[in-house]
């Protein structure tokens, strides 16, 4: 059965990115897929600390590229405490066929809650190849191709570069709802129609994508690949 890791990072309980990621998860479940959910805003992942950097240095120094061997880096009580935070986060990612991230754009980039999760699970030369990443995003303005603010988009650009550069994932899919601020900013009131069109198109696209990836996941699960187990 295909497995989805569903993450939300918006500080708003009723947000457009949450609605979009929920639509994906709904279709995934309806098609028979399993879902693991983590709310990064309601239950924040702590920032990395000194002990985490020591784990990272050990992994790098000993050229450990197998995620299942990361636990070998634990040598002190402080490192054990850092590993206790990190291990379940890694297990969730390793177990997933698809990682779904619901995130708003904050100040041209991503929320601190999402960045903290990324920092925790990322080690040198690690690969998550074979998994798919989907980002369901919401932006207050318009940042798509040709928009005046396109150069300020450090949300999608950062995540694409990061997924490719660190995880070996160069086919991440982004589905965005734009111009959400038109609903609250009188200066953008004339753009509400464009926001509605963007929102509706994004929901159609995300639901179609969920059904497509669930079918793809079922096909892959029928001939399973070996999975890493994250050791103690």
Q: Which residues are annotated as a binding site for FMN?
A: 10, 15-17, 105-108
Which token pair is 28? 């995934």
Rounded CA gap, 86 and 121, in Å? 7
Cα separation values, 47 from 51, 59, 182, Å? 11, 19, 33
Which token pair is 146? 């040709």
Taking alpha carbons only, the member of 178, 200, 24, 199 closest to residue 101 is: 24
Place of tokens 């660190």: 166
Give the annotated binding-site residues: 10, 15-17, 105-108
In 34-131, beta strands by DSSP E: 34-39, 98-104
């Amino acid at each position: 059965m295909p497995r989805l890791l569903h993450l939300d990072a918006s500080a708003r309980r009723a947000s457009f990115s949450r609605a979009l990621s929920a639509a994906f998860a709904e279709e995934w479940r309806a098609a028979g897929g399993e879902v693991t959910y983590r709310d990064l805003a309601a239950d924040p992942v702590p920032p990395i600390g000194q002990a985490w950097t020591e784990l990272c240095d050990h992994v790098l120094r000993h050229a450990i590229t197998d995620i299942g061997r990361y636990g070998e880096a634990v040598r002190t009580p402080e490192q054990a405490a850092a590993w206790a935070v990190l291990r379940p986060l890694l297990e969730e990612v390793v177990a997933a066929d698809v990682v779904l991230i619901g995130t708003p754009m904050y100040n041209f980039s991503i929320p601190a809650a999402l960045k903290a999760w990324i920092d925790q699970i990322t080690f040198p030369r690690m690969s998550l190849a074979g998994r798919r990443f989907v980002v369901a995003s919401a932006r207050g303005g318009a940042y798509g191709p040709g928009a005046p603010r396109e150069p300020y988009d450090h949300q999608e650009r950062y995540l694409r570069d990061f997924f490719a550069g660190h995880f070996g994932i160069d086919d991440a899919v982004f589905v965005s709802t734009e111009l959400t601020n038109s609903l609250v900013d009188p200066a953008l009131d004339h753009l509400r129609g464009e926001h509605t069109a963007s929102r509706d198109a994004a929901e159609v696209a995300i639901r179609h994508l969920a059904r497509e990836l669930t079918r793809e996941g079922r096909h892959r699960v029928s001939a399973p690949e070996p999975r890493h187990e994250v050791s103690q």
